[in-house]
Chains A and B, each alone.
Chain A
Amino acid sequence: GNSVTQMEGPVTLSEEAFLTINCTYTATGYPSLFWYVQYPGEGLQLLLKATKADDKGSNKGFEATYRKETTSFHLEKGSVQVSDSAVYFCALSRIQGAQKLVFGQGTRLTINP
Chain B
Amino acid sequence: NAGVTQTPKFQVLKTGQSMTLQCAQDMNHNSMYWYRQDPGMGLRLIYYSASEGTTDKGEVPNGYNVSRLNKREFSLRLESAAPSQTSVYFCASSTFEALVGPDTQYFGPGTRLTVL
Chain A interface residues (CB < 8 Å from chain B) = 4, 32, 36, 41-46, 49, 51, 89, 93, 95, 97-101, 103-106
Contact = CB atoms under 8 A, between A and B. Distances in A.
A89 B43 contact: yes
Contacts of B90: 43-44
Interface of B: 4, 31, 33, 40-45, 48-50, 54, 56, 58, 90, 92, 94, 96, 98, 101-110
A43 to B, nearest CB: 4
Contacts of B106: 46
A93 B98 CA distance: 13
B98 A95 contact: yes
B85 to A, nearest CB: 19
Contacts of B103: 99
SS class of chain A's interface: helix, strand, loop or mixed?
Answer: strand
Contacts of A46: 104-106
Given A98-B96, A100-B58, A105 B41 contact: yes
Contacts of B45: 100-101
Tell me which of B41, B44, B107 has the highest count of chain A C-beta atoms within 10 A of its own C-beta: B107
Contact of A43 (B4, B41, B104): B4
A101 B107 contact: no
A105 to B, nearest CB: 5
Contacts of B94: 98-99
Contact of B101 (A32, A98, A100): A32
Contacts of B54: 97
